[in-house]
A and B are shown apart, each in its own frame.
Chain A
Amino acid sequence: MKILVLLKQVPDSDEVKLNPETGTMIREGVGTVINPLDLHALEAALRIKETGDHSVTVVSMGPPVAEEAVKEAIAMGADRAVLLTDRKFAGADTWATAMALARFAELKGPFDLILAGEKATDGETGQVGPETGAMLGIPVATYVSRIVKLDESGITIEREVEDGKEVWKLPLPSLVSVTKDVNEPRLPTLNGKKLARKASVERIGNDFLGIDPSEIGLKGSPTRVVRIGTPKLSRKVEMYEGSKIRDGIDEIKKRLVPYLEVNHE
């Protein structure tokens, strides 16, 4: 089976800056790592690979610096790594990102199973997975906490939702986005790291994907960041400390008394 993992690279630190003009993130000069939640998607793929004759391709759309992050996936055991990189892709929102990923999956596929992370730690939207699935016209399962079974007839998964746990069987091809409960990702091995150093990451631009320029990058993004502000959230606090602590406790108590269970022994 051919498995594709969607990997995003995210800034290595919390100190991300925004371009005040476009409202997009400035990624230059910040180290990148694989989005931690995507490591679970990669791990799920690698575990499937270990059960038979399967191949794992990872793909990421991002600037050339993302190559390091993608190589890390090779160090962990992926067979092939692809970076979709092109100046024209810059500034993409989730729609334009999914567009590029979906087109790649179409042209280099078909893939039997596509795995994504729950969400990226920088954008935090969780939209790219289901958008990609919808563009490819395949079934999607999100919030997957366990992969129960995979064979030619389909994939059986558990997904965790607000009111319980569901078990679904999806046909192949399908797209599945996993949560961090699905597994514990492995660390790269020394051997893997050596392999990764030598491995080449395949770079693909829009020349190959051939997407209409109006559907990629900032130009192809329906959404625009128009303002960046700092969260305003402040209250006037009454402080209790030292000998006043008792009063503070009484103050909390007063507010909690109405909630006391009357039947309490």
Chain B
Amino acid sequence: MSDLLVIAERRGNEIHSSTFELLGKARELSIKRPLAVSVVLLSDKRIEGDEANALFSGGADRIILAVDGSFGRFNFEPFTKTLAAIVREFAPEIVLAPATTSGRTYMPGLAALLKTGLTADCTGLDIEEETGNLLQTRPAIGGNVMATIKTPNHRPQMATVRPKTFSALKEAYQSKGELVHFDVTPDLTQTVAKLIEFHPIGEGQKGVQDAEVIIAGGMGLRKVENMQPIYRLSKMINGTIGASRKIVDSKWIGHEAQVGLSGHTVKPKIYIAAGISGAVQHIAGMQTAEFIVAINRDRNAAIFNFADIGLVGDAVEILNELAESLESEVKR
């Protein structure tokens, strides 16, 4: 049986959630076409038993572990060369990686070395049963259309997927679980690029991608001071602040808060869009939210087509009223 390879991402000491999302999707694809799901982990240390078990129950039939001192943080040459060697040895039909800053860098490198196609930021993946072709769907032309892309004559077929696009398995996968050690020869990790410093981002700054509740602001707030009710609300409910591109471009808030095609894809339980028009490029990043609240003065704003509840009125007034009402709840 041929393989579907998922490239794992380690963030600090943990396997990043995107790995489990890809494994979840891989299992789904393996129903359509018999594929063994392998997960590749490039790491600077051996893998813990718990970690291996998590990957197995997350959907992996096999773990391919490559250990080398140079894999502590992502480095272009060692990663692409080692991954290319692994792909040559295991000859998978499909390779999936997260569309993170590292995945988006080693995957093109890998595609170049392997002379095969790569589709970035897929939001949908399916398999054509007769041919085994991977149908890779992604937003194109600024999110105005969805393009489905195939790699008919080259293998492997490669795609990156943004974190939070797919879901991890809900029930643990029962696998026999084989752990394979890939021998990393020195020629694979030779590099002169050197990491000189690393400054981790401040503790407690929850990224918008991992948020459960997001309160997002747009140009309808009219001025930066009107972000206040958003900060107030988000503090009360331990939420995270999101933003449309227009207010990021206006420097009301940093790019890390931007939701959408050229920002983050999010999958919170609740997404509140305040003063956001609902341009396709914004929708592309938040339609995956479980429950969407839209607040806009214009009752014909596009955002209402994508919301579960819509309030027509001034965003600042409504948010302030909401905050007050929640405050009285706390005091009770």
Which residues of A does B touch, CB under 8 Å? 14, 16, 18, 23, 25, 93-95, 98, 121-135, 139-143, 154, 156, 159-171, 174, 181, 221-231, 233-242, 245, 248-253, 255-257, 259-261, 264-265
> Is the beta-carbon distance between A264 and B145 smaller than 8 angstroms?
no
Q: Residue A131 contacts which of B112, B193, B238, B330 (CB distance < 8 angstroms)?
A: B112
In chain A, what residue has the closest Cβ to B279?
A: A14
Instruction: Point out the residue from B11, B76, B191 that lies within 8 Å of A163, measured CB to CB.
Output: B11
CB <8 Å contact, A18 and B145? yes
Question: In the complex, how many angstroms separate the beta carbon of B15 from the nearest chain A beta carbon?
Answer: 14
A222–B299 Cα gap in the complex (Å)? 46
Known A168-B193, A239-B312: A225·B120 in contact at CB below 8 Å? no
Total A-B contacts with CB atoms under 8 angstroms apart: 261
Q: Which residues of B contact A226 (CB under 8 A)?
A: 135, 148-150
In contact, A133 and B308 (Cβ under 8 angstroms): no
What's the Cα separation between A98 and B116 when bound, in Å?
A: 12
Q: Quote the shortest CB–CB distance from B147 to chain A (angstroms).
A: 5
Q: Is the CB of A95 within 8 A of B292?
A: no
Residue in chain A with minimal CB distance to B116: A222
Asked if A139 and B141 make an inter-chain contact with CB atoms under 8 angstroms apart, the answer reads: no
Q: Is B104 an interface residue (CB 8 A)?
A: yes
Interface members, chain B 249-284 (any A CB < 8 Å): 255, 261-262, 270, 272, 280, 283-284
- Identify which of residues 263-320 in chain B touch chain A, using a CB-to-CB cut-off of 8 Å: 270, 272, 280, 283-284, 287, 291-294, 299, 304-313, 318
| A166 CA to B80 CA, complexed, in Å | 19
Q: Is B108 an interface residue (CB 8 A)?
A: yes
Q: Which of A126, A127, A130, A256 has the most CB of B within 10 A?
A: A256
- Whether the pair A166, B105 counts as a contact (CB closer than 8 A) is no
**Quick check: B141 and A235 within 8 Å, CB to CB?**
no
B58 interface residue, CB < 8 Å from A? no
> Closest approach, in angstroms, between the C-beta of A202 and any C-beta of chain B?
25
Q: Is B206 an interface residue (CB 8 A)?
A: no
